[in-house]
């Protein structure tokens, strides 16, 4: 459970750093995502999920 909380904290820190460093490009990126079809967003999320699980599996063994 502590690994999950640490990972969540890392995600929030990285995302917060992106919004703090690049607010304009992040707003534009969100605007682009807002007009994408839900199926395309879902597919992108599933790809990100698979890559993330694979990466954790490779690193943690």
pLDDT value of position 1: 87
The tokens describing 51, both together, are: 């890559």
In this prediction the pTM is 0.74
pLDDT value of position 50: 97
Cα-based distances in Å from 44 to 7, 24, 26, 48, 50: 20, 22, 17, 6, 10
Torsion of CA 28, 38, 8, 3, to 10 degrees: -150
44 HSE (CA, 13 A, CB side): 7
The domain segmentation of the chain, as residue ranges, is: 24-61
Q: Express each pLDDT in 5-45 by its tens digit.
A: 999 999 999 999 999 999 999 999 999 999 999 999 999 99
């Amino acid at each position: 459970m502590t690994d999950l909380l640490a990972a969540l904290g890392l995600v929030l820190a990285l995302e917060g750093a992106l919004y703090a460093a690049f607010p304009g490009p992040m707003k534009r990126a969100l605007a682009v995502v807002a007009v994408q079809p839900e199926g395309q967003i879902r597919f992108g999320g599933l790809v990100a999920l698979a890559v993330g699980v694979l990466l954790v599996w490779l690193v943690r063994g």
